[in-house]
Structure 1
Amino acid sequence: MQAFGKLRNINQQELELMLSWRNAPSVRANMYTRHEISMDEHLAWWARTQERDDQRYFMYETDNVPLGIVGFTGIDKTNKNSSWAFYASPEAPKGTGSKMEFLALECAFNELGLHKLHCEVLAFNAPVIKLHQKFGFSVEGILREHHKIDQEFIDIYQLGLLAFEWDEKRIDMMNKLIKLSGKNA
């Protein structure tokens, strides 16, 4: 859906921009890896990622303006499932996350041919848990006090979405996003 922007390959010259978003305090606060990532660390990670066929990362852009990153990891071609995550530029307009999620689900089920997409969200990130549920994800489990941040143990929500569930939800979500896009225009 061009109206929602697009996912495309990340250009080498965008790695610095990608890192600046990933290191933004508002993004880091919701990640497992919370330290500020150095450029050398980022470039080494990117080089490893490019050698793997079980990971795919995309730049989200709208009107030729890069606004976020969508990543699929642990792509299991035999069992047709993958984990995924996304983050937007701290300056991205309201509604960017929903558009990114729609396009990520389209990519997962139509381009990657997945049967299931799953993710993990830190329990305090309730807005993202609710966003995923709005798109049809179900909470499949809660890993209680599974991740330590500072001196506190945090629950991890595990969410999953099956291809047929997305098929059932897709048109409804597309119409809602079109309506929201019209209001924001």
Structure 2
Amino acid sequence: MTDADLDAVLSWRNASAVRANMYTTHVITPGEHARWWSQTRDDLSRRYFIFETPDGPCGVVGFTRIGEIAGEAEWAFYASPDAPRGTGSRMEWLALEYAFGPLALETLRCEVLESNTRVIDLHTRFGFRTVETATRIVDGNREANIYRLALDRRKWGGLRQSALDRITKQGPAR
């Protein structure tokens, strides 16, 4: 992700369907977004990528907390409301390849709001397991139930080809 991607990422992040699944659901201002990016872009414990199809960019994948615990990181992603069907699966597969390839992680973790059942199901299909359920504060003032999920390198190694076959069978992003 570069400075040139900021406007697109902000518009995706502010889409109501994306905001509904975040810990902060208000519309992010350009100033807030710029401050976040200035803190993020040079932070070695965070890496953000833009997912592109032949039609252009349509999603963002972020890895955070890289190196805080040896061999572990957390990740999250979201797509443009206009992203082709199947974008989430493609983003997840590529994210896992990066996590267990170039990042050389042993474990990748994430948190998902309990209400976001589509993403919980997606992660489960890719081999993530629920480590625990908990509550988090959303919008600074209310509790929400979350799932903490994890996937390890060994399990991904055994599932990666079948996951790729599933995506390939879906055909081109549409």
TM-score bracket, normalised by the shorter chain, equals over 0.9
Q: Is 2:23–2:138's contact at 8 Å kept on the other side of the alignment? A: no
Corresponding residue SS for 1:14: helix
Residue 100 of structure 1: which of 91, 116, 120 is its match? 91
How much has 1:151 moved relative to structure 2? Answer: 7.7
Residue 172 of structure 1: which of 157, 162, 166 is its match? 162
Corresponding residue SS for 1:42: helix
How much has 1:181 moved relative to structure 2? Answer: 1.4
- 1:22-64 superposed Cα distances (whole Å, 9 cap, x missing partner): 0010100000011111111101110110221000000000115
Q: Which residue number corresponds to residue 83 of structure 1?
A: 74
Relative to structure 2, which stretch is displaced further, 133-142 or 43-52?
A: 43-52
Aligned length: 174
Change (3 A) 1:98 1:147: same
Q: Which residue number corresponds to residue 7 of structure 1?
A: none
Q: Which residue number corresponds to residue 18 of structure 1?
A: 9
Structure 1: give runs of 5+ residues left out of the alignment: 1-9
Same amino acid, percent of matched pairs: 44
Give the partner amino acid of 1:131.
L
Give the partner amino acid of 1:85.
A
Q: Is 1:147–1:156's contact at 8 Å kept on the other side of the alignment? A: no
Q: Which residue number corresponds to residue 3 of structure 1?
A: none
> Any residues of structure 2 matched to 1:7-46 within 5 Å, and which?
10-46=1-37
How much has 1:86 moved relative to structure 2? Answer: 0.1
Q: Which residue number corresponds to residue 69 of structure 1?
A: 60
Give the partner amino acid of 1:130.
D
Scaled by the length of structure 2, the TM-score of the pair is: 0.94
How much has 1:166 moved relative to structure 2? Answer: 0.4
Q: Is 1:57–1:71's contact at 8 Å kept on the other side of the alignment? A: yes
Distance 1:151 1:37 in 2: 17
Structure 2: give runs of 5+ residues left out of the alignment: none
